[in-house]
Amino acid sequence: MMGFDEKSEIEPRVLIGKRVCLRPLAKEDLVHLRKWSEDAEIRGLIGEVTPMSEADSEKFLHKVYADSNRRWFVVVIKNSNQVIGEAGLLRMDAAWRATDVSVIIGEKKGWGKGYGTETILLLLDYAFRHLNFHRVAIGVVGFNDRALRFWEKVGFRKEGIWRDGYYYDGKYYDFVMMSILEDEFRELHGGNDHNDR
């Protein structure tokens, strides 16, 4: 097991946890992304306005491949190979040692079973230990109580609110900015290698 302070030279392509693994988004995964984007409840919770067409999803894949400041994965249950979500880092700013993160468990039957927690711990380990970031941030839709509890439980702290920052279904809602720093992660989650390679 590698200590938290020893930065790995090798950036892993696949992040492997106990029950889930995160593998890079591929063309055959787009069907799942489109399915989740057709679900109005999920769109509302993550602040997406319209569903993704096939062309949109292919454009998104090209954007992921072209953007060196983004790493995008699908969340796969290891023992069934089922794709249950998408997650990744975006707006990665190496100079500022700061990045944004995203976790979407698109299969609702997979909610509340710890898959989201395993996914974010793999991503934070990847961001802090392998990519050497100092700060990881997320913006959360103000009425997404599940997500607000989820991020807080992982150790993210609220740091500000975009008042009426989210206009959804004819109403304004707050948009909550949250973040976690490398020392906070280390203190809460230890030097454990969350990547179960």
Ligand X SMILES: CC(C)(COP(=O)(O)OP(=O)(O)OC[C@H]1O[C@@H](n2cnc3c(N)ncnc32)[C@H](O)[C@@H]1OP(=O)(O)O)[C@@H](O)C(=O)NCCC(=O)NCCS
Candidates 71-79, 90-98, 100-108, 127-135; binding stretch for ligand X (CB under 6 A): 100-108
Nearer to ligand X, 132 or 145 (CB): 145
| Residues forming a β-bridge with 162 | 175
175 touching ligand X, by CB under 6 A: no
**Around Cβ 192, how many Cβ atoms within 10 Å?**
13
Shortest Å, Cβ 13 to ligand X:
23
Task: Using CB positions, name the residue nearest to ligand X.
Answer: 116
**Residue from 25, 30, 92, 104 in contact with ligand X (CB under 6 A):** 104
Q: From residue 108 to residue 147, what is the string marking binding to ligand X with x (rule CB under 6 A)?
A: ---xxxxxxx--------------------x-x---xxxx
158 touching ligand X, by CB under 6 A: no
Residues in contact with ligand X by CB under 6 A are: 42, 45-46, 103-105, 111-117, 138, 140, 144-147, 149-150, 153
